[in-house]
Structure 1
Amino acid sequence: MSEKQTVFLSGATGYIAQHIIKQLLDTKKFKIIGSVRSEDKAQKLANNFNNSPDLSFVYVKDIADPKAFDAAFEEHGSKIDFVIHSASPFHFKVTDPKKDLIVPAEIGSAGIFKASVKYAPNLKHFVVTSSYAAVFDILREEDNSLVLNEESWNTMEEEQAITNPVFAYCYSKKVAEQTVWKLAKDLNAKFNINAVNPVYVFGPQCFDSSVTKELNTSCEIINKFIHASPDSPVDESIKGSFIDVRDVAKAHIEPLLNSEKFNGKRLIMDAGRFGNQTIVDVLNEIPQLKGKIPVGNPHRDDELPVKMAKVDNSKTKELLGFEFISLEQTVKDTALQVLKHEGKL
């Protein structure tokens, strides 16, 4: 049997990253070195994966430090075949949008990429977890004349981006991804590169034990309705596109199995449009929730796809070659895991 190849995965305790680890281990083709911020988190994750001999950890305290990854890559670089850079802060609790979001995004991407070039001579492929936020125009999401595809970029300038945390977050994702593409040219990187650009990511946590009172940013949209009273309003504040976490994880692994095919590509992970009402419509199909949660105005969001900017990710779907999980499936799987954890099934 051929020797297992080694993947360096940054931000190993993240929601998406844990699914990436699971799927990598399931192939039995890879060893994983995951970066984590603390020994405590590493131990918990190792336990969840039954202390797999193919999973080890390094400690990277602060990815916003330009040399954060140097020590880990200096030590392990010669045996690293692939890098998946999935570590990225996703929050809006900031005081200075530029300092708290934009600068760390750029430094984090530059740090791990430079370390890869300098210390990993056998590296074959580098995958960066980017975002739909690097693709779309936040001010034109409801402009149905706009068509976005794998070549589209967030058009906002920094001057406007720093006026509020949401704009700054979206801009930071563009900066982080563009930093990778620019450094690839500037440093004449010898390995292949691609980006994965997910929209709102739903789906179960990798482990039931990871279910907490408040879930990660995207899944919390579903979680808040599971715990809402029947008379709670179903507001129209959230509308966008969805993708299942298991499909996002898969999209990080396919390029490792077929590097040339994915080189230079951006993968827009989008399985369709949704709004809060769409989520509630699906949740009301679950017998344990029916009559206990808001109903809103059923099917109010059915026309959303034609009212919003069109996302043409046909190139992504063709490259990946697998069917994306449906909204109904991803919402139900997310909800049923929460209900199981709370002893309500």
Structure 2
Amino acid sequence: MKKVLLTGISGYIGLHCAVELLKEGYAVKGSVRSLSKAEDVTNTITKFIDPKGALEFCELDLLKSEGWEEAVSDCDFVMHVASPFFSKIPKDENELIKPAVEGTLNALKAANKAGIKRVVLTSSMVAMLGEVTGDENINDNSWTNVNAKNATAYLKSKTLAEKSAWEFVKDKDMELVTIHPGPVYGPTLSGNLSGESMTLIKRIITGELKQMIHASINMSDVRDVAKIHVMALENEQAANQRFIVATDVAYSFKELATTLKLNGYNKVATMLAPNFMVKFLANFSSEMKGMMPYVGKKYEGSISSTKDIFNWKPIPFDKMILDTAKSVSGFLNM
């Protein structure tokens, strides 16, 4: 049985990746910041599949080099999912950039030393936004200009982490595959609603969010994201490529809200917030400032290579959004 070091196993995407790996017959070594999380993670995963002894844990810190070599020493692949995420703008952008870059390099250095032949890295469409001005036709050759006016700390962190990965492997006997979701939705396995995606859906369906921002981008189902992560481990054609894993076309947050409204979520507001208001509020709110790369803009990425190489079709947008709302509602006891 081939074993995968899966970093960030306790996260929203990480849990889905763990379940998908176990379903496909891989053994999983999941990294957590503290082994105290291992029991909760095991209990969550066991609700969806019996690990049958194929699940273990190790303790790793993105900012510390200790433990990485030992963690990867008995593994066949590395799936590096762990990365910091905040929509709010931190006071110091290095709070995001440093752990993203150093964690990626710690994973790759350890994998290289252990002779791992392929690493699958979770990147993001935000590493592909060009000059961050909208109306970008995004593909696997697109890169975000980290010096662009609207490039936030999060955009920089994902872009610089991925660039550091490609730079590291270019002269190594190692293959890299990067996975690029847009905003990620879909059911939560753990019931943790504190993440950005779950928080947004919770605020929308409870009526707390009164207006949507005017923005469009390809959106991603977490189940698709996990599936392609796992398929990328051994697909020969995937070597050294970047893959957008998202809907065929860009969708707006208004379309997201409207889908919910039309399907019985009566508290949902579908009114758009005026762009000038969001820009004004960004002067006072770090959360609003974090949305500025998207306000009034549309980003659309091509998923043609992902569909072709993996013989894959994305989960339909309506199903993704409604399954997310159903999952969130269940944990809210609505």
Q: Deviations over 1:31-77 (max 9, x none)?
A: 000100112211101122337311100011x202244523423xxx1
Give the length in aligned residue pairs.
305
Contact 2:217–2:299, Cα closer than 8 Å, also in 1: no
Change (3 A) 1:275 1:215: farther
Change (3 A) 1:332 1:70: same
Q: Which amino acid aligns with 2:126?
A: A
Separation in 2, partners of 1:106, 1:191: 18
Separation in 1, partners of 2:90, 2:269: 32
1:13 aligns to 2:10 (yes or no): yes
SS of the residue aligned with 1:49?
helix
Q: Deviations over 1:233-289 (max 9, x none)?
A: 32325432201000000110112232x2110110012203222211111111333x2
Q: Which amino acid aligns with 1:221?
A: L
1:211 aligns to 2:196 (yes or no): no
Q: Which amino acid aligns with 2:104?
A: S
Separation in 2, partners of 1:56, 1:242: 32
SS of the residue aligned with 2:152?
helix
Contact 2:211–2:269, Cα closer than 8 Å, also in 1: yes
**Match in the other structure for 2:45:** 49
From 17, 23, 27, the equivalent of 1:26 is: 23
From 199, 202, 225, the equivalent of 2:185 is: 202
Contact 1:67–1:111, Cα closer than 8 Å, also in 2: no
Contact 1:63–1:108, Cα closer than 8 Å, also in 2: yes
**Match in the other structure for 2:158:** 173
1:111 aligns to 2:106 (yes or no): yes
TM-score (norm. length: structure 2): 0.84
Separation in 2, partners of 1:113, 1:228: 44
Q: Which amino acid aligns with 1:70?
A: E
Contact 2:4–2:77, Cα closer than 8 Å, also in 1: yes
Q: CA deviation at 1:295?
A: 4.3
SS of the residue aligned with 2:207?
coil
From 240, 243, 250, the equivalent of 1:267 is: 243
1:294 aligns to 2:293 (yes or no): no
Q: CA deviation at 1:198?
A: 0.8
Q: Which amino acid aligns with 1:217?
A: E
Separation in 2, partners of 1:321, 1:279: 27
TM-score (norm. length: structure 1): 0.82
Contact 2:3–2:76, Cα closer than 8 Å, also in 1: yes
Q: Deviations over 1:5-39 (max 9, x none)?
A: 00110111011110011111112x21000100112
Separation in 2, partners of 1:16, 1:167: 22
SS of the residue aligned with 2:41?
helix
**Match in the other structure for 2:253:** 276
Separation in 1, partners of 2:102, 2:10: 20
SS of the residue aligned with 1:248?
helix
SS of the residue aligned with 2:170?
helix
1:91-106 mapped onto 2 (5 Å cutoff) = 91=86, 92=88, 94-97=90-93, 99-106=94-101
Runs of 4+ in 1 over 4 A off after TM superposition: none
Q: Which amino acid aligns with 1:276?
A: F
CA RMSD of aligned residues (A): 2.2
Contact 2:215–2:298, Cα closer than 8 Å, also in 1: no
1:84-95 mapped onto 2 (5 Å cutoff) = 84-91=79-86, 92=88, 94-95=90-91
Separation in 2, partners of 1:309, 1:59: 37
Contact 2:250–2:299, Cα closer than 8 Å, also in 1: no
Separation in 2, partners of 1:275, 1:314: 21
**Match in the other structure for 1:129:** 122
Unaligned 5+ runs, structure 1: 298-306
Separation in 1, partners of 2:158, 2:224: 20
1:185 aligns to 2:170 (yes or no): yes
Change (3 A) 1:130 1:262: same
Change (3 A) 1:280 1:54: same
**Greater alpha carbon shift after TM alignment, 84-93 vs 13-22:** 84-93
Separation in 1, partners of 2:250, 2:304: 15
Q: Which amino acid aligns with 2:224?
A: D
